[in-house]
Structure 1
Amino acid sequence: MAIKVKIFDEEHEKDLEESINAFLEKIDEKDLIDIKYQVSNFYDHRNQIYCYSAMIIYRDKKKDDD
């Protein structure tokens, strides 16, 4: 069993929520280790742009490639 991460990056928080929920449906709850969440923003002279990201740390039950 290997420890892995899955990175998500979206421009809208609702899109991030949907992406994370879809991934979480694919793994067993007991294999979830942690979720790290971050929001960053910047200006491009006209608009304020947001970046919503998350990293899921989980146990992967697939056999390791040794």
Structure 2
Amino acid sequence: MLKIKLFDEEHEADLEEAVNGFLENLHESNIKDIKYQVSISDSLREEEEPTIYSYSIMVIYIE
């Protein structure tokens, strides 16, 4: 059965660690595709962080 696993982190290193941990449990032949995306948002409020990053990966795999 084809499935997806979504990962979303604010820091690249955290995303890398989460995805690598998941991939350790999958056989390479079961991985069909991996999609990567970065989103950037600027806050208009002074009390919030000025720029927010979101790093996302979707792993498409066979279970």
**TM over 0.5, shorter chain:** yes
When the two structures are superposed, what TM-score results if normalisation uses the length of structure 1?
Answer: 0.85
Could you tell me which amino acid in structure 2 is paired with residue 33 of structure 1?
K
Residue of structure 1 equivalent to 2:39: 40
- The question of 1:23 aligning with 2:26 is answered no
Q: What is aligned with 1:64? A: none
Q: How large is the Cα RMSD of the aligned pairs? A: 0.8
Equivalent-residue separation in structure 1 for 2:57 and 2:28 (angstroms) = 17
Scaled by the length of structure 2, the TM-score of the pair is 0.89
Q: Spell out, residue by residue over 1:3-61, the C-alpha distance to the aligned partner (whole angstroms, 9 max, x if none).
A: 0000000000110000000000011111000000000001113411000001000000x
Gaps of 5+ in 1: 61-66
Distance in 2 (alpha carbons) for counterparts of 1:51 and 1:32:
23
Residues paired across the two proteins, number: 59
Identical positions, percent: 53
